[in-house]
Copies of this chain bind each other. A is one copy, B any other.
């Protein structure tokens, strides 16, 4: 496989470790780095080390955070009676962009997937349960992805919460706004019809 000189091959291999990067793209990225100045390369390397050193998980919601608590958990203006459960930090950012939701979050860091060998114990479910013990939280919104794994995870958590006096909701499935019914898949259309609302 070593088609390049050794330091370049090593860099290509490092890029290949990144999510969704194949060999051809890794080669392109490695050559990009070679075109950097020494200073740019040093900045790049230190950004990697910095991110790894300074970013940790918020002890409350498990979202990534540079401070002690994440900005959402540290804020005094959030509605502490609602927790929105998501698979990863990117989902938190996507929901925050909407500027509609004022509650708290809980990041699971994955979804249950027997295929990938990820069981409930690999997710931050225990930490979620601990947050629900003191009675502050009245509603848990399950906002895991609308995939087989996400649905399974939502189902699993909803069962765990069945015995507790907490409202458990799931985000709606349906046709995306701006989409075309013609291109919507059958399962989505079925869910959109099932979830129809009065106007």
Contact = CB atoms under 8 A, between A and B. Distances in A.
- Please give the count of copies of this chain that the complex contains: 2
A115 interface: no
A90 interface: yes
Contact of A33 (B7, B27, B34, B52): B52
Given A3-B93, A5-B64, A93-B4, A51 B17 contact: no
B14 A66 contact: no
Interface residues of A, number: 52
A54 interface: yes
Contact of A21 (B19, B29, B34, B64): B29
Interface string A10-46: 1101100111110001011111111110101111111
A49 B7 CA distance: 10
B33 A18 contact: yes
